[in-house]
């Protein structure tokens, strides 16, 4: 689903994420790039809905827990926010690797913090940014890194 998309509301961003989730496969790793307030967590909520997670509205910023697991959908969803991670060693301690190479889908906010630990081939990079347009406009680039 590679492309550059423009959304004009949180709802539109959720809908786009929902569509990406409908194509998700076990083991997928989605790196969610974007500044604070860009819409990464909104995107994660839409993605959860697309996987059929029973309570996608429970997808909130997991900043203080680093990881929230959402089960009950087509695939387990591992939602990381590694903003507060001290170093890559701490990522190893929370077992990031097991999730990355597990049978669910990983969504990672602030992926640059764990750059060296993420697989490259097959990873899906999502970049969300504000635009020069309206306050609620976002440009969202989705790009799967070729295997």
Ligand X SMILES: Nc1ncnc2c1ncn2[C@@H]1O[C@H](COP(=O)(O)OP(=O)(O)O)[C@@H](O)[C@H]1O
Strands 29-33, 3-7: pairing kind: unpaired
Identify the CA nearest to 6 among candidates 110, 114, 130, 97: 130
> Of ligand X, Mg ion, none, which one sits near residue 10, judging by CB under 5 to 8 A according to partner kind?
ligand X
Rounded Cα distance between 69 and 104, Å, is 10
> Which long-range CB contacts under 8 A does 89-93 form with residues at least 24 apart?
91/117, 92/117
Cβ-closest residue to ligand X? 39
Residue closer to ligand X, measured from CB, 9 or 143: 9
| Residue of 8, 10, 52, 61 interacting with Mg ion (CB under 5 A) | 61
| Residue of 20, 21, 24, 42 interacting with ligand X (CB under 6 A) | 42
| Residue of 7, 13, 41, 68 interacting with Mg ion (CB under 5 A) | 41
Token code pair at residue 128 = 């969300």
Is 39 a binding residue for ligand X by CB under 6 A? The answer is yes
Identify the CA nearest to 82 among candidates 50, 48, 109: 109
Total residues in contact with ligand X, by rule CB under 6 A: 18
- Contact residues toward ligand X (CB under 6 A) are 7-10, 12-13, 34, 36-42, 61, 109, 136, 138
């Amino acid at each position: 689903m590679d492309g550059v998309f423009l959304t004009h509301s949180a709802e539109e961003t959720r809908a786009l994420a929902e569509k990406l989730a409908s194509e998700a496969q076990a083991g997928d790793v989605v790196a969610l790039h974007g500044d604070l307030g860009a819409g990464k967590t909104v995107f994660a909520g839409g993605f959860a809905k697309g996987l059929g997670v029973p309570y996608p509205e429970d997808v909130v910023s997991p900043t203080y827990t680093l990881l929230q697991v959402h089960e009950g959908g087509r695939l387990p969803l591992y939602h990381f926010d590694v903003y507060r991670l001290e170093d890559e060693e701490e990522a190893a301690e929370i077992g990031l690797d097991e999730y990355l190479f597990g049978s669910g889908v990983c969504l990672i906010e602030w992926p640059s913090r764990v750059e060296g630990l993420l697989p490259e081939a097959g990873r899906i990079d999502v970049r969300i940014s504000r635009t020069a347009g309206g306050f609620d406009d976002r440009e969202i680039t989705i790009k799967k890194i070729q295997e």
